[in-house]
Homo-oligomer: A and B are copies of this chain.
Amino acid sequence: MFEPIGFESIKQWDRAADVVIIGQGVAGTCAALEAHRQGAKVLVIDRASGGGGASALSSGIFYLGGGTAVQEACGYKDSPDDMARFILASMDPLDPAAARDFALGSAEHFDWLEAQGVPFERSCYKGKAVYLNSSECLLGTGNEKLWPFNLAAQPAPRGHKVAGTGEHAGAVAMQALLAKCEEERIDTIYDASAEALITDAKGAVKGVQVRQLGSTMNILAEKAVIVATGGFNFNPDMVKEHFPQLSPTAEALGTPHNTGEGLMLAEAAGATTSGMDGLIATASIYPPAQLIKGIVVNANGERFVAEDSYHGRTAAFIMEQPEQQAYLIVDSEIFAYPDVPTARHELVDGFETVAEMEQRLNIPKGALQRTLDDYNKDAANGEDAYLHKDKEWLKPLDKGPWAAFDISFRKSCYLYITLGGLRTDRFGRCLDHEGKAVPGLYAAGACSAHIPRDGKSYASGMSLGPGSYFGRRAGQHAAGARG
């Protein structure tokens, strides 16, 4: 059903442009601006009745670094090489050349975003947070400070949140970018679904067939089509196929339009995908940061992940535990409720003794006590010899009573996004099985494979950051393609 239509079979072209962009989220918008400024006639189509896509619903964090204006203003030293090293060491990227290109171009890209009117404060949030209800910009949003990645590169916060609260920051970013598109009079058609790509006899992509309000339009793309249609979180069949481990309590982030059709259209035209089993899920144990001083254990009462891991990493390890069960254990000194309302982590209870807690959690007798004994000894020594949690978060959990929160994957509510997608090069070109560019076909944003391939290595902002960056690259290259 996603097969491309033959160019020669099209009798009538309803519209024409140099570059046709499917999807007006952050990647599509950035692609449109750059292609337009290269002199290309650009046409953007979107299934929704307005632009923004999942980007506008996001919390507006761009992963950027290498010495951005905000990093400098806040007194953080970062270098393009440190950012590249961190990405290489923690993410084993499929295309290290593209990942490095992103790191090297990142600070300039920040300036570009700001020049488009995307507002960023010169401020930093120093605590541990997942989601900021205030307007501070800079925030540590990944595993930069986590052992062993902190050895590979000088850690620096690289989450750049748009000025606005977490609830609105994504929309603020998209409002600015969409206003720029309007200002530059970039043609846009809403309520328009791409139904098929149009390819010539050589397999080059030459246009898009679009369904809008009951009628079909054929749009000629003189130079290229850029697919920027977002993830496939909202396609139940694909989610079921690629993520059999998902819990019914998990919830997809994004818009209902994120159904993966763009990806399938591109695949049918010869593009390939990568990392389709990649997923980042999150239901953080922090804030407040003091909870990181607790321990996370499985149904056998054993620790399995350093608790100062980025929340997506912790979630990925929880998903692998038996029955995907996990508990956050705290003592009275650090007790607090996890302040992540979406997560719905429930307090199991408070316990006067560890033995009672073991019994209630159905942990084998003595197992949690053993874990606590080992941990407390290490914490007292200031070194977590087992999982290498940073000493900043070490304190013996010996001030009873104790409490346990159920943070199980199948009980709490984990929010997730998909990470796999179309395989692209650093110019945003879709690659075929031989690694060669499919002529006239580009992709950017969440419909293309993310740099991090799984939740263990994801960092918040690795969707908007590379999505906007490679959106621009795709727009620039597409405007020159076959031109």
Contact = CB atoms under 8 A, between A and B. Distances in A.
A386 B96 contact: yes
Contact of A431 (B96, B322, B456): B322
B321 A435 contact: yes
A299 interface: yes
Contact of A147 (B92, B149, B152): B152
Interface stretch (A81-89, A182-190, A467-475): A81-89
A299 B434 contact: yes
A148 B299 contact: no
A304 B385 CA distance: 33
- Secondary structure dominating the interface of A: loop
Contacts of A303: 96-97
Given A88-B387, A88-B388, A152-B147, A435 B299 contact: yes
Interface in A314-339: 320-323, 325
A425 B300 CA distance: 10
Interface in A56-88: 81, 84-85, 88
A100 interface: yes
Contacts of A431: 322
A251 interface: no
A425 B434 CA distance: 42
A299 B89 CA distance: 24
Contact of A89 (B148, B320, B325): B148
A95 interface: yes
A94 interface: yes
A435 B152 contact: no
Given A85-B388, A100-B386, A387-B88, A435 B300 contact: yes
Contacts of A148: 85, 89, 148-149, 151-152
B298 A435 contact: yes
Contacts of A100: 386
A482 interface: no
Given A88-B387, A299-B435, A320 B94 contact: yes
A312 to B, nearest CB: 14
Contact of A96 (B85, B89, B92, B387): B387
Contacts of A85: 148, 388
A433 interface: yes
Contacts of A94: 320
A302 interface: yes
A323 B431 CA distance: 11
A64 B321 CA distance: 27
Contacts of A323: 433-435
A320 B95 CA distance: 10
A96 B88 CA distance: 23
Contacts of A97: 302-304, 386
Contacts of A425: 300
A15 B325 CA distance: 41
A293 B69 CA distance: 39
15 contacts: A85-B388, A88-B387, A100-B386, A148-B149, A272-B322, A274-B320, A298-B435, A299-B435, A299-B436, A300-B425, A322-B435, A322-B436, A323-B434, A325-B434, A325-B435
**What 9 pairs between A and B have smallest CB-CB spacing?**
A322-B435, A148-B152, A151-B151, A89-B148, A299-B435, A323-B434, A97-B302, A322-B434, A300-B435
Given A89-B147, A100-B386, A148-B151, 7 more contacts: A92-B456, A94-B320, A97-B304, A148-B149, A322-B431, A322-B435, A325-B435
